[in-house]
Structure 1
Amino acid sequence: MGRCKGSHIGPSTLQRLGEVIILLELVVPSITMMVELVRIQYKLVKDFMRFKTSGFEDCESNFHEVDLESIFGRCFLTTRLRCIGRFYQLNGRINFFSCKGPIWDFSIFYQLGNEIDYSTFENRLVYPTFHYNSDSDDNKGDLLRVKVNKLSSTKTQLPYSYYSLPYCHPGHIVDSAENLGEVLRGDRIENSPYVFKMREPQMCNVVCRLTLNAKTAKEFKEKIDDEYRVNMILDNLPLVVPLRRPDRESSLVYLHGFLVGLKGQYAGNKDEKHFVHNHLTFIVKYHRDPVTEMSRIVGFEVKPFSVKHEYDGGWDNTTRLTTCDPHAKKLVSGSEPPQEVEDKKEIIFTYDVEFQESNVKWASRWDSYLLMADDQIHWFSIINSLLIVLFLSGMVAMIMLRTLYRDISKYNQLETQEEAQEESGWKLVHGDVFRPPSNSDLLCVYVGTGVQFFGMILVTMIFAALGFLSPSNRGGLMTAMLLLWVLMGLYGGYSSARLYKMLKGTEWKRIALKTAFMFPATAFAIFSVLNALIWGQRSSGAVPFGTMFALVFLWFCISVPLVFLGGHFGYKKPVTEDPVKTNKIARQIPEQPWYMNSLFSILIGGILPFGAVFIELFFILTSIWLHQFYYIFGFLFIVFLILIVTCAEITIVLCYFQLCSEDYRWWWRSYLTSGSSALYLFLYAAFYFFTKLEITKPVSGVLYFGYMLLLSYGFFVVTGTIGFYSCFWFIKLIYASVKID
């Protein structure tokens, strides 16, 4: 049995370990100081944002008028804004605007036609937001039109159009224009008969009356059994149902949409019945500006009720309900008999509208939706991951001190037999360490694909953390990821071709072709099968033909040419020479100890990278499969950086031990070591499925595991590429720093 010849700890090793401890004693206080500075800066920002000033004469600002040929008309750009408060421009164009934010140096406001529009730019510590919606200001009496979105369920994960159920129709159904991300999410936004006026409460408005038949009653019952929720939109705000958290008296939880209905017993009947929510009490929260008297919608809530409406006489336009009557000021209280869903049952759909003035400003209206009550868990996750990084950093530092410091500074000094034996392992394979691996073409393709994925994720997170992918822009995140994936094909082709040339390859076009098609073709095949299953369920989540054509167009007409263009530049650029020459005859690899077995080493290497992200992974899966908002990209970006460092360091450590055992086959193992974390991700996804979700339909289970397989595959190529490049850099560094006879 062979052994790792660098694993024996001698006197010099203890000396290097002492140096590492001294180094950590210097680094840790520095990190603590940086954290304290960030905390102080955060406190200063909070204090500064409380400061209020008014008047134009106290400000230091430079105004520049810029004409922009766009749909926004003429824009006025304010730069170097140094004060907070209210400003007046007395040239007749802009009457009033306000802006906040000590971090940002600019704000944008504009004028449409001859009407004066006012806009607010308020910097948020959670996310910065740009606002330029001319429909946001409303006078009393302005029409407000509620739009309906898909019916969604966490039990089936199959969305359906709102009008797939026999709800009340408007005169003409109009589909709203949707971006690529919205279509892929299954959103179907349409108009509705729910129309009311701003700041004019309404009571017991009748929408329509219908009589169920056997088919429509069955459809309602199926949706109630699967706990489908109705999603609506007003002024780009989703409809929510506020619920008080049982563990926190002053904290509210907002559930997206309201349930189609309920199932239960009523009036002593032992049999369970289905009841539909046919009465809605809308609560519209608005913020009124004291200067302009204009109002802006800052909240859209609902209280759903199931009410068996009654009336006297026949049904016509003059019929008045006895269960709720605006003339008698009789409201629905929830104590009325519920509306049962059965064949030949009559259902009357009604709604109330309440308006509540709110102190929440329009720029802050998304804060309640994105309120993060579990921030302590996120911080615990980050601290836990940082401890892992610190531990691995100490090991890498010890390795570097043991090898490089002694090889460079003390190479010509007399070494003890013990020290020479420590170094003999990895130095003996210098003539084989850069020997091209088996299946080098496939490795180049995977590395290029990983670079493409890495670039997409990095740029997406940066834009999301800066606030450019606000949740108010539905589908924006998915659209951005798709477009960035296509554009990053340039870097994917460049990386794969450059590595291929270094491995003495000559057919770079073949590598570029594989890079352009291998991962996308696999993903597209899985996606097509899943989409066919969704079509079979007649769900609105099925991607239509036009969108599929758009995806194929992005792939073939933009991504593929960019991959070939990147491959051309990557192969054309000269590669750096290897620090040592490769022998013509491969060295025989000695028998390896059990703990250096390839499979065992690879599986061990994936544990720590997965451990760095699994807590954040829980919140991501909850957001995706339980239909909740996820907008804590600041935390996610930090976790992503920790993942990069963890993948790099664990791969370097295990690669060093492998070389010490005189095994030079590091190419694929470096990729698979960190990439194996994707296996743990998929296993955790399976655990999450059986413990957190209540999916009932087999098709929904296939959808879940199909999408999680795609996610795990992408995670594999990203983490594998990080591990490969870090190990490649480490090996070039150590072999370039030693003297080889």
Structure 2
Amino acid sequence: MATTHPALLFLVVLACTGAASGFYLPGVAPADFRKNDLLAVKVNQLSSIRTQLPYSYYSLPFCRPDTIINSAENLGQVLRGDRIENSPYVFEMMEPKLCQITCKIVLTEQGANDIKEKIEDEYRVNMILDNLPLVDPITMIDRDAPPYYQQGVNLGVKGLYVGSKDVMYFIYNHYSFLVKYNKEAQTDLARIVAFEVKPYSRKHKPDGDWKGNATRLKTCNPHSGLLVVYSDGPQQIEANKEIIFTYDVNFEESDIKWASRWDTYLRTTDGHWFPIVNSLTMVLFLSVMVAMIMLRTLYRDISKYNQLESQEEAQEESGWKLLHGDVFRPPVNADLLCVYVGTGVQFFGTLLVTLLIAILGLLSPSNRGGFMTAMLLLWVFMGPFAGYSSARFYKMFGGVEWKKVAIRTVLVFPGVVFLIFFALNMLLWGVKSSGAVPFTTMLALVFLWFGISMPLIFIGSYLGFKKPYIEDPVRTNKIPRPIPQQPWYMNPAVSMLIGGILPFGAVFMELLFILTIIWMHQFYYIFGFLFLVFMILIVTCAEITIVLCYFQLCSEDYQWWWRSYLTPGSSALYLFLYATFYFFTKMQITKAASGVLYFGYMLIASYAFFVLTGTIGFYACFWFTRLIYSSVKID
């Protein structure tokens, strides 16, 4: 099997380099601001890597605006658990403010306990300004290194206070915002390029009676010339005690261009190339093995077999050549195999087109939920390819009820995924998480499934079944040939487990990076690298399946149909096992609901990976067997 073409590899490397360095098209048009223009800060979900259960910002007793307005959200945002709303934080462009009072809140017993629980679980507050997420810059040990930008800001902290032996909880009730902007030299227009914050916990005291937000504070003097002046220590969380929320905002001109403002969020290390090189080395090794089989062993076998002068001489031969009368015999449960092959084609097309769109920069991180929305819609509109592929193989296997296989293509894979997703959503509803998908969104998903995807699959199945029958290169005997006793290493379970190791190894390092990005709530935008890993995965699955399929045929075992699907598909088992290992070694989850959520989503991911890799291996083996048996002269 041929390796990746050098020109294609060069283009992919260019795409990788561009995607990793911020070469992408912006997802939204830039917003220009003048001095004193109002800047409205929006709030998003409360998130935690310890629980993975997002909550609405206003689920806690924070300062509220007069009217809470929900921002319009796309399908991907809803599925991600984003709940974007307005906030009482409103700035004036290029107008620094010191010690601005947001509001005063008296905590109830329930409110105090809720905040303590969220601090215990290390929840972070997420805000947005001009579509940029709020970040907390953390200085690295190496002072010359750029700071690490942590998305959101901690809700509070727990610890021991001076003179006390009890654990206390302190809330960050003062935010020191920093808005960086890039100003055009020809005009007074400016564009926001960074939104940073430093949180503080300080116990404020009003200077006299409380008179709303116009009250002066003893512990904060905005006219002192300093940023803030505090004197009463941190703000402890106690029931029936008041908390005064304040903030500062400062503006700083920056050299960062608007088109590059996401680079700090998307910065990656140069070491990302190392796993790519390892995977390419493995692909090269497999390519050499396949080339040896195709160009030497097979060519020698075919030439020798075609030169035999009599049928008696041919019968004395052994190996794959004797299986020409049985190798294309329909497998057991052929209908189900057709369904999984069609579903794999649908998933393959969805992933391929999504990655190509992302490489072109059309899925900017500023377009929140865009990647997930694109995948869902592409999955729906790839339905004709799924129906076409299922029906073509179904007809080849002698099936006549094409509607039956179309229905199963609609239901099998999406049905399993939907049941798992619905169960997880019920769990999120039970814990009152904002990640729970609303009932109306569930109806929208069902409509996409049965209202659009199902008709498209039926159209594809109809067209595929109307196509001419796929003729086998050799005739199939009426009586099946007995399969000889197989050595232990050719046992289906053993060969499948061996075959799944290499596809998993091809994506192992990138999988580690992706898991870290997803479950640690970071941004992923190196789609060029992901596309290259995807290409490596395709080649690896195809080549390892061809090699093992050839060994199986040489052992005179012609039941290769399901084996060719399950061999690379077993890599999904390794993926799930590694996800389990990652959970116990990297994650800090302690709650049962969070653990169920993690393993539920990883089960869906592993199932999808099984369908994807299995389909790639099946098509590779199908092409391989038709190629070699069409080269043999048979009377």
Q: Same fold (TM over 0.5)?
A: yes
Q: Is the 8 A contact 1:159 1:186 kept in 2?
A: yes
Does residue 534 of structure 1 match 2:437? Answer: no
* 1:514 matches 2:408: yes
Given the alignment of the two structures, is residue 612 of structure 1 paired with residue 509 of structure 2, yes or no?
Answer: no
Task: In structure 2, give the amino acid aligned to 1:280.
Answer: Y
Structure 2 residue aligned with 1:365: 261
Tell me if 1:290 matches 2:177. no
Question: Does the CA contact (< 8 Å) of 1:324 and 1:331 recur in 2?
Answer: no
Corresponding residue SS for 2:323: coil
Letter of the structure 2 residue corresponding to residue 437 of structure 1:
P
The residue that corresponds to 1:177 in the other structure is: 72
Structure 1 contact 127–465 (Cα < 8 Å) conserved: no
How many Å apart are 1:130 and its aligned residue? 3.8
Does 2:286 align with 1:392? yes
- Please name the residue that 1:63 is paired with: none
Could you tell me which residue of structure 2 aligns to residue 149 of structure 1? Answer: 44
* Corresponding position of 1:57: none
State the one-letter code of the partner of 1:699: A
Query: Which residue is equivalent to 2:216?
Result: 320
Question: What is residue 320 of structure 2 aligned with on the other side?
Answer: 426
Q: Is the 8 A contact 2:171 2:235 kept in 1?
A: yes
Deviations for 1:465-497, whole angstroms, at most 9, x for unmatched residues?
111111000000000000011111110000000
The alpha carbon displacement at 1:189 in A equals: 0.5
Cα deviation for residue 640 of structure 1 reads: 0.3
1:686 aligns with 2:588: no
Contact 1:323–1:330 under 8 Å retained in 2: no
Matches within 5 A, 1:659-678: 659-678=553-572
Distance 1:35 1:582 in 2: 41
Alignment of 1:133 onto 2:29: yes
* Cα separation, 2, equivalents of 1:165 and 1:242: 25
Structure 2 counterparts to residues 264-283 of structure 1, below 5 A: 264-283=159-178
* Cα distance in 2 for residues equivalent to 1:727 and 1:126: 39
In the alignment, which residue of structure 2 is the partner of 1:739? 633
**What residue identity is the alignment partner of 2:351?**
I
Change (3 A) 1:34 1:192: closer
Secondary structure of 1:606's aligned partner: helix
Change (3 A) 1:607 1:277: same
Amino acid at match of 1:323: T
**Given the two structures, how large is their TM-score scaled by the length of structure 1?**
0.82
Whole-Å separation in 1 of the counterparts to 2:230 and 2:49? 26
Residue of structure 1 equivalent to 2:113: 218
Superposition deviation, residue 329 in structure 1: 2.8
Q: Secondary structure at the match of 1:148?
A: strand
Identity of aligned residues (%): 67
Assess, with a 3 A threshold, how the Cα gap between structure 1 residues 412 and 594 changes in structure 2: closer, same or farther.
Answer: closer
Structure 2 residue matching 1:297: 3-state secondary structure: strand
Q: Tell me the distance in 2 between the aligned counterparts of 1:246 and 1:433.
A: 63
- The whole-number CA distance in structure 2 between the counterparts of 1:647 and 1:422 is 34
CA 35–505 in structure 1, closer or farther in 2 if over 3 Å, else same:
closer
- Does residue 354 of structure 1 match 2:256? no
Alpha-carbon spacing, 1:655–1:334, altered in 2? closer, same or farther (3 Å): farther
Question: 1:459 corresponds to which residue?
Answer: 353
Q: How many residues align?
A: 630
SS of the residue 1:424 aligns to: coil
Choose from 416, 436, 444 the match for 1:550: 444
Q: Please state how far the C-alpha of 1:404 moved relative to its aligned partner.
A: 3.9
- 1:245 to partner: Cα distance: 2.7
2:388 aligned counterpart, secondary structure:
helix
d(CA) in 1 for partners of 2:317, 2:385: 38
The 1:227–1:608 alpha-carbon spacing in structure 2 relative to 1, beyond 3 Å, is same
Distance 1:132 1:651, change over 3 A: closer
Shift in alpha-carbon separation, 1:226–1:724, aligned structure 2, 3 A? same
Measured after TM superposition, the shift of residue 600 of structure 1 is: 0.4
**Contact 2:22-2:260 within 8 A present in 1 as well:** no
CA distance in 2, matches of 1:423, 1:461: 48
How big is the alpha-carbon RMSD for the aligned residues of Structure 1 and Structure 2? 2.4
Structure 2: which 5+ runs fail to align?
Answer: none
- Aligned partner letter, 1:188: R
Distance 1:37 1:367, change over 3 A: closer
Q: For 2:189 and 2:281, how far apart are their aligned partners in 1?
A: 52
Cα offset, 1:344, TM superposition? 1.8
Q: Out of 303-312 and 669-678, give the one that drifted further.
A: 303-312
Q: CA deviation at 1:450?
A: 0.6
In 2, distance between residues paired with 1:397 and 1:497?
A: 33
CA deviation string 1:426-474 (max 9, x = no partner): 0011110000010101100110111111010000010011111110000
For 1:439-478, list aligned pairs within 5 A.
439-478=333-372
Report the counterpart of residue 654 of structure 1 in structure 2. 548
Structure 1 distance, partners of 2:428, 2:112, is 23
Alignment partners' CA distance in 2, 1:37 and 1:255: 33
- Relative to structure 1, is the Cα distance of residues 422 and 697 closer, same or farther in structure 2, using a 3 angstrom cutoff? farther
Runs of 4+ in 1 over 4 A off after TM superposition: 33-39, 333-336, 407-415, 419-423
Higher relative CO (Cα under 8 Å, sequence separation at least 6) belongs to 2
Q: What's the counterpart of residue 479 of structure 1?
A: 373
Consecutive unaligned residues of structure 1, counting only runs of 5 or more, are 1-19, 47-102, 104-122
Mapped to 2, the partners of 1:248 and 1:329 lie a distance apart of 29
Distance 1:169 1:35 in 2: 53
Aligned partner of residue 98 in structure 2, secondary structure: strand
Match of 1:584 among 472, 475, 478: 478
CA contact (8 A) 2:27 2:363 kept: no
